[in-house]
Amino acid sequence: MKIRDMLVLPSAKILLLLLDGPKNDKEIVSILKMSSTTYNENITWLLAHGFVERTPDGKYILTDKAKQQLVNVFLPLIRYIDKLKETGITVS
């Protein structure tokens, strides 16, 4: 699976959204324009696998496990982007 394909997965979208801070169910579904079924399947999977936790006020936060996985995915990409910048490519 290509990185681009992984980043469009609903679970990845949820993780990336939570980088901005805690969100509740309604906020996540509204921002991502995701169906309730898709959301419920993915948030359940993320919870079960320890990537998100639910706070007492009903919001979701990233776990350290999720943060480490995001670093593992994105850190190599940053290096490639820097190399591309050296070739004169501009980011728009």
Residue ranges of domains in the chain: 3-87
CATH topology of domain 3-87: Arc Repressor Mutant, subunit A (1.10.10)
What is the C-alpha separation between 49 and 58, in angstroms, rounded? Answer: 18
| Choice between 3 and 66, residue whose per-residue pLDDT is larger | 66
Per DSSP, helices labelled H in 2-89 are 3-7, 10-18, 25-32, 36-48, 64-86
Give the residue among 45, 44, 18 at the shortest CA–CA distance from 32. Answer: 18
**Residue 83 pLDDT grade (very low, low, confident, very high; cuts 50, 70, 90):** confident
Q: Answer yes or no: is pLDDT of 5 > 80.
A: no
| Choice between 83 and 62, residue whose per-residue pLDDT is larger | 62
On average, the pLDDT of the chain sits at: 88
Which amino acid is it at 37? T
Residue 18: per-residue pLDDT: 97
Q: Answer yes or no: is pLDDT of 3 > 60.
A: no
Give the residue among 57, 6, 2 at the shortest CA–CA distance from 16. Answer: 6
Residue 7: per-residue pLDDT: 58
Q: Model's pTM, two decimal places? A: 0.77
